[in-house]
Structure 1
Amino acid sequence: MSTFVLVHGAWHGGWCWKRVRNALQTHGHEVYTPTLTGVADRSHLIAPDIDLDTHILDVVNLIEWEELSGVVLCGHSYGGCVVAGVADRIPDRIHALVYLDAFVPGNGESLFQHVPEAQFDLLMEGARVTGEGWKVPPIPAEVFNVNANDRDWVNRQCTVQPIATFEQGISLSGGIDQVKNVTYIRATNFVEGSPFGPFEDKARANGWKTVAMAGGHDLMLDLPDELTEVLLEAAAA
């Protein structure tokens, strides 16, 4: 039996993993899908001071208090920033690291540094107009090319995100380099406006396993069975 911790991206919550979670549990594995502070079922806790460090601690504390080890840690999109911070702080608990169409920040880098200028301007405008300057409204599912059957559901489920989570640079001490089993998954049906091409290139340059999957950005919804297989391969490596 393996242990999986699956971390959602911006505006989402643990809800987006239910298909993959169910599939992994059917295979007999232990699966955790935490919702980060301030969004989805924890949206009642939203506050201006919630930042990337808050979300890293959400996952670090889950792993420590549940006494998990040998973890397959997967982060989607913004969740790549989160899992990078987690792996850096507790590399001894991590068996495999999986970036799912995700940001892979270097030390000191923030998510906003890697967002295309036009998209950055839209996010900032949304926060200014509807989010009191600090709550960033979700990008519509249509933009991420989520499959047509799930788009309305995803748009209903997504919630605003504190802007500090995008602005704060990550602090990496080098612990993440101890994790050698790393996979980068790219969603090939989300290309226009995608910021993830350079991270796929970075993955190849680092010698990581790279996987292309023909789905929209939310691969856990578009291709849950195929994604489950890649996660199982990471666990077995």
Structure 2
Amino acid sequence: MATFVLCDGAFGGAWAWREVEKELIKQGHVVFSLTLAGLGDRNHLLTPDINLETHITDVVNTILFEDLNNIYLVGHSYGGGVIIGAADQLLNRISKLIFFDALILEDTQSINDLYSESFVKQTKEIVQSKGEGFRLPKPDSGPIYNTDHPFKTFEQKIKLMNKAELRQIPRAFINCTQKSSHPVLEPINQFAEKAKQKNGNTLKFPPDIMRIGKNRLN
């Protein structure tokens, strides 16, 4: 039996893990699916002040207040950056970091740093024109439960205090076989390729098997 903490990507929430959660519980595991501040059922908390550190604290506090140990910490897409920050603060509680088609941040990097200047500029223009200057509107074609995302979470650079120890935590990268040319997926696909080159292979699952029940364009 293992303890899983599941962190979704941009626009999403705990609802995205429903089917995965059911399967893990059926197998005897303990599962905590998180909704980060300002998203999903917590969208009423969305303010201009929410940043990456806010979301890292969401994960850290869940682990501390539930007194969780030996954790398989899972992050999808944007959530990959969040779980790196949480693991940096809770090194002794994490058994493995699992990046499910996720972004991976290094010290002093932001999510925006992983994308081209043109893509970031275009995104900022959308935030200014349609998101009151602080929120990125949810994609029109995404799941109905998607909500707007606080843009500061993409701008803030992560600060890692235990870089050497963090690298000692075992990692896995789950790469969905569904491919897309959408620019938001470019760095994710690059991380998958790096994992393949380093480890000889990546874990590949069609999205319907993972049954995350959401669009990959998170």
- TM category, shorter: 0.7 to 0.9
TM-score, normalised relative to structure 1: 0.81
Q: 1:186 corresponds to which residue?
A: 175
Whether the aligned pair in 2 keeps the contact of 1:3 and 1:71 (CA below 8 Å) is: yes
- Cα distance, 1:209 vs. partner? 6.2
Offset from partner CA, 1:57-83 (integer Å, 9 cap, x none): 100110011010000100000000000
- Cα distance, 1:124 vs. partner? 1.7
| Aligned counterparts of 2:19 and 2:30: Cα–Cα separation in 1 | 14
Runs of 4+ aligned residues of structure 1 deviating over 4 Å after TM superposition are none
Structure 2: any 5+ residue segments left out of the alignment? none
Match of 2:212 among 207, 215, 220: 220
Q: 1:172 corresponds to which residue?
A: 160
User: 3-state SS of the aligned residue for 2:4?
Assistant: strand
- Cα distance, 1:190 vs. partner? 2.8
Q: 2:24 corresponds to which residue?
A: 24
| Aligned counterparts of 2:200 and 2:57: Cα–Cα separation in 1 | 26
TM-score, normalised relative to structure 2: 0.88
What does residue range 107-126 of structure 1 map to in structure 2 within 5 Å? 107-126=107-126
What does residue range 126-205 of structure 1 map to in structure 2 within 5 Å? 126-141=126-141, 154=143, 156-173=144-161, 174=163, 175-180=165-170, 182-193=171-182, 194-195=185-186, 196-204=188-196
Q: 2:100 corresponds to which residue?
A: 100
Whether the aligned pair in 2 keeps the contact of 1:184 and 1:209 (CA below 8 Å) is: no
Whether the aligned pair in 2 keeps the contact of 1:89 and 1:176 (CA below 8 Å) is: no
Q: Percent identity at matched positions?
A: 36
| Aligned counterparts of 1:170 and 1:209: Cα–Cα separation in 2 | 28
| Aligned residue pairs, count | 209
- Cα distance, 1:205 vs. partner? 5.2
Distance 1:220 1:90, change over 3 A: same
Structure 1: any 5+ residue segments left out of the alignment? 142-150, 223-237
Whether the aligned pair in 2 keeps the contact of 1:187 and 1:219 (CA below 8 Å) is: no
Whether the aligned pair in 1 keeps the contact of 2:19 and 2:211 (CA below 8 Å) is: no
- Cα distance, 1:28 vs. partner? 1.5
